[in-house]
Protein backbone atom coordinates (compact mmCIF):
# COMPACT_ATOMS: atom_id res chain seq x y z
CA UNK A 1 0.00 0.00 0.00
CA UNK A 2 1.43 3.30 -1.04
CA UNK A 3 0.77 7.03 -1.02
CA UNK A 4 2.43 8.75 -3.97
CA UNK A 5 2.92 12.40 -4.78
CA UNK A 6 3.91 13.09 -8.38
CA UNK A 7 5.93 16.26 -8.91
CA UNK A 8 5.48 17.47 -12.48
CA UNK A 9 7.69 19.91 -14.30
CA UNK A 10 5.69 22.76 -15.87
CA UNK A 11 8.65 25.07 -16.50
CA UNK A 12 9.27 26.84 -19.80
CA UNK A 13 11.69 24.09 -20.81
CA UNK A 14 8.84 21.64 -21.18
CA UNK A 15 7.59 23.47 -24.27
CA UNK A 16 10.44 21.71 -26.10
CA UNK A 17 9.18 19.33 -28.76
CA UNK A 18 11.99 16.79 -28.58
CA UNK A 19 9.69 14.33 -26.81
CA UNK A 20 6.59 14.02 -29.00
CA UNK A 21 4.38 15.99 -28.98
CA UNK A 22 6.01 18.24 -26.37
CA UNK A 23 7.91 17.44 -23.20
CA UNK A 24 4.97 18.66 -21.15
CA UNK A 25 2.35 16.64 -22.99
CA UNK A 26 4.52 13.51 -22.99
CA UNK A 27 4.95 13.98 -19.26
CA UNK A 28 1.21 14.45 -18.74
CA UNK A 29 0.53 11.18 -20.57
CA UNK A 30 3.09 9.37 -18.45
CA UNK A 31 1.61 10.81 -15.24
CA UNK A 32 -1.89 9.70 -16.23
CA UNK A 33 -0.62 6.22 -16.94
CA UNK A 34 1.35 6.09 -13.70
CA UNK A 35 -1.61 7.29 -11.65
CA UNK A 36 -3.73 4.59 -13.26
CA UNK A 37 -1.13 1.93 -12.49
CA UNK A 38 -0.74 3.01 -8.88
CA UNK A 39 -4.45 3.22 -8.09
CA UNK A 40 -5.11 -0.07 -9.80
CA UNK A 41 -2.35 -1.96 -7.99
CA UNK A 42 -4.13 -1.56 -4.67
CA UNK A 43 -7.54 0.01 -4.03
CA UNK A 44 -6.14 1.85 -1.03
CA UNK A 45 -3.26 3.43 -2.92
CA UNK A 46 -3.48 7.18 -3.23
CA UNK A 47 -1.86 9.55 -5.71
CA UNK A 48 -1.42 13.32 -5.48
CA UNK A 49 0.00 15.79 -7.99
CA UNK A 50 1.95 19.01 -7.55
CA UNK A 51 3.57 21.35 -10.03
CA UNK A 52 7.16 22.44 -9.43
CA UNK A 53 7.40 25.61 -11.53
CA UNK A 54 5.50 28.88 -11.42
CA UNK A 55 5.48 31.40 -8.59
CA UNK A 56 5.76 28.58 -6.10
CA UNK A 57 5.17 24.84 -6.14
CA UNK A 58 1.44 24.17 -6.10
CA UNK A 59 -0.37 21.07 -4.90
CA UNK A 60 -3.01 20.34 -7.54
CA UNK A 61 -4.54 17.41 -5.72
CA UNK A 62 -3.68 15.90 -2.35
CA UNK A 63 -3.20 12.12 -2.34
CA UNK A 64 -6.49 10.54 -3.36
CA UNK A 65 -7.59 7.12 -4.61
CA UNK A 66 -9.90 8.84 -7.13
CA UNK A 67 -8.27 8.57 -10.56
CA UNK A 68 -10.77 11.03 -12.04
CA UNK A 69 -9.63 13.79 -9.72
CA UNK A 70 -6.01 13.17 -10.66
CA UNK A 71 -6.66 13.21 -14.41
CA UNK A 72 -8.83 16.28 -14.05
CA UNK A 73 -6.15 18.18 -12.16
CA UNK A 74 -3.74 17.67 -15.06
CA UNK A 75 -5.88 19.73 -17.43
CA UNK A 76 -5.32 23.41 -18.23
CA UNK A 77 -1.99 23.78 -16.50
CA UNK A 78 0.06 26.88 -17.15
CA UNK A 79 3.60 26.43 -18.36
CA UNK A 80 5.61 29.14 -16.67
CA UNK A 81 8.85 29.94 -14.85
CA UNK A 82 11.49 27.60 -13.56
CA UNK A 83 11.21 24.35 -11.58
CA UNK A 84 12.00 24.66 -7.90
CA UNK A 85 12.96 21.09 -7.09
CA UNK A 86 14.01 21.18 -3.45
CA UNK A 87 11.04 23.16 -2.14
CA UNK A 88 8.65 21.13 -4.29
CA UNK A 89 10.01 17.91 -2.86
CA UNK A 90 9.68 19.20 0.68
CA UNK A 91 6.08 20.24 0.06
CA UNK A 92 5.43 16.80 -1.37
CA UNK A 93 6.89 15.28 1.77
CA UNK A 94 4.56 17.36 3.93
CA UNK A 95 1.59 16.24 1.86
CA UNK A 96 2.67 12.65 2.40
CA UNK A 97 3.26 13.10 6.12
CA UNK A 98 -0.35 14.15 6.65
CA UNK A 99 -1.77 11.18 4.78
CA UNK A 100 -4.91 9.72 6.29
CA UNK A 101 -3.83 6.13 6.30
CA UNK A 102 -0.59 5.58 8.16
CA UNK A 103 -0.31 2.09 6.72
CA UNK A 104 0.67 3.57 3.38
CA UNK A 105 4.31 3.82 2.48
CA UNK A 106 5.36 7.21 1.19
CA UNK A 107 6.70 7.76 -2.29
CA UNK A 108 7.50 10.82 -4.37
CA UNK A 109 7.80 10.52 -8.16
CA UNK A 110 9.63 13.46 -9.70
CA UNK A 111 9.39 14.26 -13.40
CA UNK A 112 12.16 16.64 -14.32
CA UNK A 113 12.76 17.99 -17.84
CA UNK A 114 14.59 21.23 -17.11
CA UNK A 115 17.99 22.11 -15.63
CA UNK A 116 18.07 21.90 -11.83
CA UNK A 117 18.97 25.24 -10.23
CA UNK A 118 19.98 23.88 -6.83
CA UNK A 119 23.52 22.66 -6.22
CA UNK A 120 24.35 19.07 -5.42
CA UNK A 121 24.95 19.61 -1.69
CA UNK A 122 21.49 21.07 -1.16
CA UNK A 123 19.86 18.19 -3.02
CA UNK A 124 21.74 15.61 -0.99
CA UNK A 125 20.65 17.36 2.20
CA UNK A 126 17.02 17.19 1.10
CA UNK A 127 17.51 13.56 0.10
CA UNK A 128 18.85 12.68 3.57
CA UNK A 129 15.82 14.32 5.14
CA UNK A 130 13.51 12.28 2.91
CA UNK A 131 15.35 9.10 3.76
CA UNK A 132 15.07 9.87 7.47
CA UNK A 133 11.33 10.19 7.05
CA UNK A 134 11.04 6.87 5.18
CA UNK A 135 10.12 8.48 1.88
CA UNK A 136 11.07 6.65 -1.30
CA UNK A 137 11.77 8.70 -4.41
CA UNK A 138 11.59 7.80 -8.09
CA UNK A 139 12.99 10.28 -10.60
CA UNK A 140 12.16 10.37 -14.30
CA UNK A 141 14.65 12.58 -16.15
CA UNK A 142 13.76 13.63 -19.67
CA UNK A 143 15.90 16.31 -21.24
CA UNK A 144 18.76 18.37 -19.76
CA UNK A 145 20.61 15.14 -18.93
CA UNK A 146 24.06 16.80 -19.06
CA UNK A 147 23.37 19.32 -16.32
CA UNK A 148 21.10 17.11 -14.22
CA UNK A 149 22.70 13.68 -14.51
CA UNK A 150 25.29 14.05 -11.78
CA UNK A 151 22.96 15.90 -9.38
CA UNK A 152 20.18 13.38 -9.75
CA UNK A 153 22.50 10.43 -9.27
CA UNK A 154 23.80 11.85 -5.99
CA UNK A 155 20.22 12.66 -4.98
CA UNK A 156 18.99 9.12 -5.59
CA UNK A 157 22.15 7.70 -4.01
CA UNK A 158 21.45 9.63 -0.81
CA UNK A 159 17.73 8.84 -0.63
CA UNK A 160 17.91 5.18 -1.62
CA UNK A 161 17.27 2.79 1.23
CA UNK A 162 16.95 -0.89 0.51
CA UNK A 163 16.68 -0.26 -3.25
CA UNK A 164 13.34 1.53 -2.97
CA UNK A 165 14.27 4.52 -5.13
CA UNK A 166 15.06 4.65 -8.83
CA UNK A 167 16.38 7.06 -11.39
CA UNK A 168 15.13 6.58 -14.94
CA UNK A 169 16.70 8.69 -17.69
CA UNK A 170 14.65 8.69 -20.88
CA UNK A 171 16.50 9.73 -24.06
CA UNK A 172 14.84 12.13 -26.49
CA UNK A 173 12.91 10.78 -29.45
CA UNK A 174 11.09 7.93 -27.73
CA UNK A 175 7.60 7.81 -26.31
CA UNK A 176 8.03 8.69 -22.63
CA UNK A 177 5.16 6.61 -21.27
CA UNK A 178 6.21 3.56 -23.32
CA UNK A 179 9.72 3.74 -21.92
CA UNK A 180 8.49 3.96 -18.34
CA UNK A 181 6.16 1.02 -18.67
CA UNK A 182 8.75 -1.68 -18.04
CA UNK A 183 10.73 0.21 -15.40
CA UNK A 184 10.67 -0.43 -11.64
CA UNK A 185 8.56 2.72 -11.24
CA UNK A 186 5.63 0.79 -12.63
CA UNK A 187 6.44 -2.41 -10.76
CA UNK A 188 4.60 -1.69 -7.57
CA UNK A 189 6.23 -3.61 -4.76
CA UNK A 190 4.25 -6.42 -3.22
CA UNK A 191 1.68 -6.56 -6.00
CA UNK A 192 1.41 -7.71 -9.55
CA UNK A 193 3.07 -5.44 -12.06
CA UNK A 194 0.89 -3.20 -14.16
CA UNK A 195 -0.07 -4.88 -17.37
CA UNK A 196 -1.16 -8.04 -15.62
CA UNK A 197 -4.75 -8.94 -16.29
CA UNK A 198 -6.81 -7.10 -13.69
CA UNK A 199 -9.37 -9.87 -13.26
CA UNK A 200 -9.04 -13.61 -12.78
CA UNK A 201 -5.74 -14.72 -11.36
CA UNK A 202 -4.23 -11.27 -11.51
CA UNK A 203 -1.93 -12.07 -8.62
CA UNK A 204 -0.06 -14.49 -10.86
CA UNK A 205 1.19 -11.55 -12.91
CA UNK A 206 1.32 -11.03 -16.64
CA UNK A 207 4.15 -13.44 -17.26
CA UNK A 208 2.17 -16.45 -16.13
CA UNK A 209 0.18 -16.49 -19.37
CA UNK A 210 1.57 -17.63 -22.70
CA UNK A 211 1.04 -14.37 -24.55
CA UNK A 212 0.43 -12.06 -21.60
CA UNK A 213 -3.29 -12.64 -22.06
CA UNK A 214 -5.44 -14.57 -19.66
CA UNK A 215 -7.05 -17.32 -21.80
CA UNK A 216 -10.01 -17.42 -19.41
CA UNK A 217 -10.70 -13.74 -19.93
CA UNK A 218 -10.67 -13.75 -23.71
CA UNK A 219 -10.51 -17.26 -25.20
CA UNK A 220 -10.91 -16.04 -28.79
CA UNK A 221 -7.97 -13.67 -28.57
CA UNK A 222 -5.83 -16.36 -26.96
CA UNK A 223 -6.84 -18.81 -29.69
CA UNK A 224 -6.02 -16.30 -32.42
CA UNK A 225 -2.64 -15.63 -30.85
CA UNK A 226 -1.90 -19.34 -30.60
CA UNK A 227 -2.83 -20.01 -34.25
CA UNK A 228 -0.79 -17.05 -35.38
CA UNK A 229 2.16 -18.36 -33.38
CA UNK A 230 1.87 -21.81 -34.99
CA UNK A 231 1.71 -20.34 -38.48
CA UNK A 232 4.77 -18.25 -37.83
CA UNK A 233 6.65 -21.32 -36.54
CA UNK A 234 5.66 -23.29 -39.65
CA UNK A 235 6.83 -20.42 -41.85
CA UNK A 236 10.17 -20.27 -40.05
CA UNK A 237 10.63 -24.02 -40.38
CA UNK A 238 9.94 -23.79 -44.12
CA UNK A 239 12.49 -21.01 -44.40
CA UNK A 240 15.08 -23.11 -42.58
CA UNK A 241 14.33 -26.04 -44.88
CA UNK A 242 14.73 -23.79 -47.90
CA UNK A 243 18.08 -22.68 -46.58
CA UNK A 244 19.09 -26.31 -46.12
CA UNK A 245 18.01 -27.09 -49.66
CA UNK A 246 20.09 -24.18 -50.89
CA UNK A 247 23.02 -25.76 -49.11
CA UNK A 248 22.53 -28.89 -51.14
CA UNK A 249 22.15 -26.96 -54.40
CA UNK A 250 25.27 -25.00 -53.73
CA UNK A 251 27.18 -28.20 -53.09
CA UNK A 252 25.86 -29.83 -56.23
CA UNK A 253 26.84 -26.75 -58.16
CA UNK A 254 30.32 -26.85 -56.71
CA UNK A 255 30.77 -30.35 -58.06
CA UNK A 256 29.09 -29.46 -61.33
CA UNK A 257 31.98 -29.74 -63.78
CA UNK A 258 32.77 -33.29 -62.72
CA UNK A 259 29.22 -34.55 -62.91
CA UNK A 260 29.18 -38.17 -63.96
CA UNK A 261 27.90 -41.43 -62.64
CA UNK A 262 31.23 -42.30 -61.13
CA UNK A 263 31.34 -38.88 -59.50
CA UNK A 264 28.14 -39.39 -57.54
CA UNK A 265 29.95 -40.60 -54.46
CA UNK A 266 32.24 -37.59 -54.49
CA UNK A 267 29.27 -35.36 -54.96
CA UNK A 268 27.80 -36.69 -51.77
CA UNK A 269 30.73 -35.52 -49.77
CA UNK A 270 31.23 -32.43 -51.85
CA UNK A 271 27.95 -30.89 -50.80
CA UNK A 272 28.63 -30.66 -47.11
CA UNK A 273 32.32 -30.07 -47.70
CA UNK A 274 31.60 -26.81 -49.49
CA UNK A 275 29.63 -25.66 -46.52
CA UNK A 276 32.36 -26.88 -44.22
CA UNK A 277 34.96 -24.67 -45.83
CA UNK A 278 32.68 -21.69 -45.97
CA UNK A 279 31.36 -21.60 -42.43
CA UNK A 280 31.20 -23.49 -39.17
CA UNK A 281 28.71 -26.17 -39.95
CA UNK A 282 25.20 -25.61 -38.80
CA UNK A 283 22.86 -28.34 -37.77
CA UNK A 284 21.27 -28.75 -41.15
CA UNK A 285 24.58 -29.23 -42.88
CA UNK A 286 25.63 -31.83 -40.31
CA UNK A 287 22.39 -33.69 -40.74
CA UNK A 288 22.75 -33.65 -44.46
CA UNK A 289 26.29 -34.92 -44.31
CA UNK A 290 25.34 -37.73 -41.99
CA UNK A 291 22.50 -38.78 -44.27
CA UNK A 292 24.67 -38.55 -47.33
CA UNK A 293 27.34 -40.72 -45.79
CA UNK A 294 24.90 -43.41 -44.77
CA UNK A 295 23.25 -43.40 -48.19
CA UNK A 296 26.51 -43.47 -50.09
CA UNK A 297 27.13 -47.01 -48.97
CA UNK A 298 24.13 -48.63 -50.57
CA UNK A 299 22.39 -46.31 -52.97
CA UNK A 300 24.81 -44.08 -54.77
CA UNK A 301 23.09 -41.28 -56.65
CA UNK A 302 19.52 -42.14 -55.72
CA UNK A 303 20.40 -42.31 -52.05
CA UNK A 304 22.02 -38.94 -52.11
CA UNK A 305 19.13 -37.29 -53.83
CA UNK A 306 16.81 -38.97 -51.42
CA UNK A 307 18.78 -37.60 -48.50
CA UNK A 308 18.44 -34.14 -49.88
CA UNK A 309 14.74 -34.71 -50.26
CA UNK A 310 14.21 -35.75 -46.70
CA UNK A 311 16.23 -32.84 -45.42
CA UNK A 312 14.41 -30.32 -47.54
CA UNK A 313 10.85 -31.46 -47.94
CA UNK A 314 9.04 -28.38 -49.18
CA UNK A 315 11.04 -25.66 -50.86
CA UNK A 316 13.44 -28.04 -52.58
CA UNK A 317 10.65 -29.60 -54.60
CA UNK A 318 11.96 -28.92 -58.13
CA UNK A 319 15.44 -30.30 -57.54
CA UNK A 320 14.25 -33.05 -55.27
CA UNK A 321 11.54 -34.52 -57.45
CA UNK A 322 14.02 -36.36 -59.64
CA UNK A 323 15.55 -37.65 -56.46
CA UNK A 324 12.24 -39.03 -55.32
CA UNK A 325 12.03 -41.08 -58.47
CA UNK A 326 15.46 -42.51 -57.98
CA UNK A 327 14.88 -43.03 -54.30
CA UNK A 328 11.86 -45.16 -54.94
CA UNK A 329 14.07 -47.90 -56.32
CA UNK A 330 15.10 -48.56 -52.79
CA UNK A 331 11.63 -49.83 -52.11
CA UNK A 332 11.72 -53.24 -50.56
CA UNK A 333 8.84 -54.59 -52.55
CA UNK A 334 10.50 -56.10 -55.60
CA UNK A 335 7.36 -56.21 -57.72
CA UNK A 336 6.43 -52.69 -57.06
CA UNK A 337 9.97 -51.74 -57.85
CA UNK A 338 9.76 -53.43 -61.22
CA UNK A 339 6.40 -51.90 -61.97
CA UNK A 340 7.72 -48.50 -61.17
CA UNK A 341 10.74 -49.20 -63.27
CA UNK A 342 8.61 -49.99 -66.26
CA UNK A 343 6.62 -46.84 -66.00
CA UNK A 344 9.72 -44.78 -65.34
CA UNK A 345 11.50 -46.13 -68.38
CA UNK A 346 8.75 -44.70 -70.55
CA UNK A 347 8.28 -41.16 -69.34
CA UNK A 348 11.01 -40.93 -66.71
CA UNK A 349 13.54 -39.43 -69.07
CA UNK A 350 11.14 -36.84 -70.41
CA UNK A 351 9.79 -35.96 -67.03
CA UNK A 352 13.31 -35.81 -65.71
CA UNK A 353 14.23 -33.41 -68.48
CA UNK A 354 11.28 -31.25 -67.64
CA UNK A 355 12.15 -31.21 -63.96
CA UNK A 356 15.73 -30.60 -64.65
CA UNK A 357 14.60 -27.69 -66.73
CA UNK A 358 12.72 -26.35 -63.73
CA UNK A 359 15.89 -26.54 -61.66
CA UNK A 360 17.81 -24.72 -64.31
CA UNK A 361 15.15 -22.07 -64.48
CA UNK A 362 15.46 -21.55 -60.79
CA UNK A 363 19.23 -21.42 -61.04
CA UNK A 364 19.03 -19.00 -63.96
CA UNK A 365 17.07 -16.62 -61.78
CA UNK A 366 20.23 -14.94 -60.50
CA UNK A 367 18.50 -12.66 -58.04
CA UNK A 368 16.72 -15.54 -56.37
CA UNK A 369 19.85 -17.66 -56.16
CA UNK A 370 21.87 -14.76 -54.83
CA UNK A 371 19.33 -13.96 -52.16
CA UNK A 372 19.15 -17.64 -51.25
CA UNK A 373 22.90 -17.94 -51.01
CA UNK A 374 23.24 -14.61 -49.26
CA UNK A 375 20.87 -15.77 -46.54
CA UNK A 376 23.19 -18.65 -45.71
CA UNK A 377 25.73 -17.98 -42.99
CA UNK A 378 29.27 -17.67 -44.27
CA UNK A 379 28.40 -18.12 -47.93
CA UNK A 380 29.45 -15.29 -50.23
CA UNK A 381 27.19 -15.16 -53.29
CA UNK A 382 29.85 -13.12 -55.11
CA UNK A 383 32.47 -15.81 -54.66
CA UNK A 384 33.91 -16.40 -58.18
CA UNK A 385 34.10 -20.14 -57.59
CA UNK A 386 30.44 -20.26 -56.75
CA UNK A 387 29.51 -18.06 -59.69
CA UNK A 388 31.49 -20.30 -62.02
CA UNK A 389 29.85 -23.34 -60.59
CA UNK A 390 26.38 -21.90 -61.14
CA UNK A 391 27.19 -20.99 -64.69
CA UNK A 392 28.58 -24.41 -65.48
CA UNK A 393 25.60 -26.06 -63.83
CA UNK A 394 23.32 -24.44 -66.35
CA UNK A 395 25.52 -25.70 -69.15
CA UNK A 396 25.66 -29.18 -67.73
CA UNK A 397 21.92 -29.65 -67.95
CA UNK A 398 22.44 -31.81 -71.01
CA UNK A 399 24.87 -34.02 -69.22
CA UNK A 400 22.37 -34.32 -66.43
CA UNK A 401 19.75 -35.61 -68.78
CA UNK A 402 22.03 -38.42 -69.80
CA UNK A 403 22.74 -39.06 -66.23
CA UNK A 404 19.05 -39.32 -65.56
CA UNK A 405 18.77 -42.08 -68.10
CA UNK A 406 21.75 -43.84 -66.71
CA UNK A 407 20.13 -43.63 -63.32
CA UNK A 408 17.28 -45.63 -64.68
CA UNK A 409 19.63 -48.26 -66.04
CA UNK A 410 21.50 -48.35 -62.80
CA UNK A 411 18.28 -49.10 -60.99
CA UNK A 412 17.76 -52.19 -63.13
Partner 1 sequence: MTDMLDMIDWSCVECLNQNPSRNIGNALKQGYREDDGLYLESDTDDQLLLHIPFTQAVKLHSWAIKSVGTKGHAPRKVKLFINRPSLGFSEATDFPAVQEFELSEDDLEGKPLPLKLVKFQSVNILSIFIEDNQEEEETTQVQKIVLYGSAGEKMNVNEIKKVGEENS
> Which residues contact partner 1 by CB under 8 A?
97-98, 102-103, 128, 131-134, 161-162
Nearer to partner 1, 158 or 176 (CB): 158
Nearer to partner 1, 45 or 51 (CB): 45
Nearer to partner 1, 5 or 315 (CB): 5
State the chain's maximal CA–CA distance in angstroms.
101
| Complete DSSP assignment for 147-167 | HHHHHHHHHHHHH-SSS--EE
**Coil/strand/helix, residue 313:** coil
Nearer to partner 1, 162 or 280 (CB): 162
Nearer to partner 1, 44 or 207 (CB): 44
d(CA 331, CA 313): 19
Give the nearest distance from C-beta 47 to partner 1 in angstroms. 19
Give the nearest distance from C-beta 63 to partner 1 in angstroms. 13
**Chain-centroid distance, C-alpha 57:** 43
| Cis? peptide before 411, omega within 30° of 0 | no
Q: How many helices (H) and strands (E) does the chain have?
A: 14, 6
Give the nearest distance from C-beta 233 to partner 1 in angstroms. 47
Instruction: Select from 27, 146, 137 the least CA-distant residue to 89.
Output: 137
Nearer to partner 1, 134 or 258 (CB): 134
Nearer to partner 1, 137 or 326 (CB): 137
Nearer to partner 1, 132 or 395 (CB): 132
Nearer to partner 1, 44 or 210 (CB): 44
d(CA 14, CA 21): 11
d(CA 105, CA 107): 7
Give the nearest distance from C-beta 93 to partner 1 in angstroms. 9
Give the nearest distance from C-beta 148 to partner 1 in angstroms. 23
Instruction: Select from 392, 397, 390, 403 the least CA-distant residue to 262.
Output: 403
Report in angstroms the alpha-carbon separations of 121 from 88, 118, 127, 154: 17, 8, 10, 9
Instruction: Select from 336, 334, 356, 333 the least CA-distant residue to 405.
Output: 356
204 Cβ contact partners less than 8 Å away, ≥ 6 residues apart: 192, 196
Give the nearest distance from C-beta 43 to partner 1 in angstroms. 16
Give the nearest distance from C-beta 104 to partner 1 in angstroms. 10
Asked whether the CA dihedral 249, 255, 261, 265 is positive or negative, the reply is negative
Give the nearest distance from C-beta 96 to partner 1 in angstroms. 10
Please tell me the total number of residues recorded for the chain in this structure.
412
Is residue 121 exposed (0-12), middle (13-18) or buried (19+ Cβ within 10 Å)?
A: exposed
Give the nearest distance from C-beta 162 to partner 1 in angstroms. 4
327 Cβ contact partners less than 8 Å away, ≥ 6 residues apart: 299, 302, 303, 305, 306, 309
Nearer to partner 1, 131 or 337 (CB): 131
DSSP code of 143?
S
Nearer to partner 1, 163 or 283 (CB): 163
Give the nearest distance from C-beta 161 to partner 1 in angstroms. 6
Beta bridge partners of 107: 4, 136
Give the nearest distance from C-beta 122 to partner 1 in angstroms. 16
d(CA 365, CA 281): 27
d(CA 90, CA 59): 12
Amino acid sequence: MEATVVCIDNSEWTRNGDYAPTRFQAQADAVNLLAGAKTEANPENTVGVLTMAGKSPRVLVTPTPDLGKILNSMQNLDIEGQANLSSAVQIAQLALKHRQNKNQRQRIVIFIGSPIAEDKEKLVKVAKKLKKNNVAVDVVAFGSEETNGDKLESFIGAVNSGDNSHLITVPAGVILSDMLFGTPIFQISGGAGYGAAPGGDAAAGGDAFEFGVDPNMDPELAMALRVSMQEERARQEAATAAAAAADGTAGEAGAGPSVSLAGEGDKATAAPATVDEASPMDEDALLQQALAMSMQVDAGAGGLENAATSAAPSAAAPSASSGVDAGMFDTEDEDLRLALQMSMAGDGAEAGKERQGAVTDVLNDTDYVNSLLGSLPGVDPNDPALQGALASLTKSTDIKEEEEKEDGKDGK
